[in-house]
Amino acid sequence: MIEFDTALQATIPPNVTVCITSCARLDLLSKTLDTFRRYNRGGKFLISEDSCDPVVVEKLRQSYPGMTILWGSERLGIMRSIDRLYLNVETEIIFHLEDDWEFSGAVDWNAALALLNARPDIVNICVRAISEMKEKYLNRSEALSTAGASFRIMHLDAHPEYYSWSPNPGFLRRTTYDQFAPFSRVNPDQMSGLMKKAQLRQAFLLPGVAHHIGYGRNVTDPTMPPRPKSKPEKWRRAIRKKLYYAGLRRNPF
């Protein structure tokens, strides 16, 4: 059994459910949950396991007996997996978490919830380390301090799609999910774009305590086309996306 120093921990509020997407990357999931729980105690946890492998599911049940494991016989992909999670949430707030992150400190739950209560235009509060953001996007944000914490609030024009919602570790109201459900009708970038069109913004809680560790370990999503790899393919994809968000294409792919 892993022992945690309670002096370093923050308590997850009772109105928050931690929702985790997973797909057979048990080593990464272990790192994610071990470091997350090192700094954050208590809480309700839901895991959507998308491998369709009963052996993997049994390992999860043995490793995390206090968590609810959701799974089935069909691979769902990221957005349908998120729908499966969020439809089972009974609390006001969702804390979304993927299976490939490492935490270096406690989440400031009180500050994040205070900002959500104060700013209805803030749809998502991300706790990813701000140092992992490209500077050109960081420059398209504004500083805000509240509840003793510092945030960066992204401008609506920071990017055509990004920086309203993302599946990176962070907060989302359950009512926001109800408003935009089902998420599976679009891909993650498009969902962020839809929220952006509704004038909803993303905030980053500084300095951020979650660090991405899933580089080179991507899981194929059965619902989405492969990402372009060559420069010409990326340029064509970028042009198609710009035309899509300008209303000149029906599909961004």
Residues 147 and 164 in one domain: yes
Say what the pLDDT of residue 145 is: 95
Q: What is the pTM of this model?
A: 0.89
Please state whether the peptide bond connecting residue 169 to the residue before it is cis, i.e. omega within 30 degrees of 0.
no
Cβ contact 205:112 at 8 Å: yes
What is the rounded distance in angstroms from the CA atom of residue 60 to the CA atom of residue 170?
Answer: 23
- Structural domain contains residue 155: yes
Name the domain count of the chain.
Answer: 2
253 and 208 housed in the same domain: no
The string of DSSP letters for 112-173 reads HHHHHHH-TTEEEEE-B-GGGS-HHHHTTEEEEEETTEEEEEEPTTS-SSSSS--SSSEEEE
Is there a contact between 39 and 8 (Cβ–Cβ < 8 Å)?
yes
The answer to whether residues 60 and 139 belong to one domain is yes
Whether residue 26 is contained in a domain is answered as yes
Alpha-carbon distance of 243 to 187, in angstroms, equals 17
Check residue 64 and give its pLDDT.
96
> Would you state the pLDDT for residue 248?
73
Taking the C-alpha atoms of residue 161 and residue 189, their distance in angstroms, rounded to an integer, is 6
pLDDT at 122: 97
Give pLDDT, residue 235: 77
CATH code: domain of residue 156: 3.90.550.10
Paired tokens of 216: 């080179």
Task: Give the pLDDT of residue 51.
Answer: 94
The residue range of the domain holding 152 is 6-222
Q: Are residues 203 and 148 in the same domain?
A: yes
pLDDT mean for each 10 residues of the chain (253 residues): 70 98 95 97 97 96 96 94 98 97 97 97 97 91 94 92 94 98 93 94 97 80 69 77 72 63
DSSP, collapsed to helix, strand or coil, labels residue 190 as helix
- In degrees, rounded to 5, the angle at the alpha carbon of residue 58 between the alpha carbons of residues 38 and 76 is 90
Q: Is residue 34 assigned to a domain? A: yes
117 shares its domain with 232: no
pLDDT confidence of residue 252? 62
Check whether residue 43 and residue 68 sit in a common domain: yes
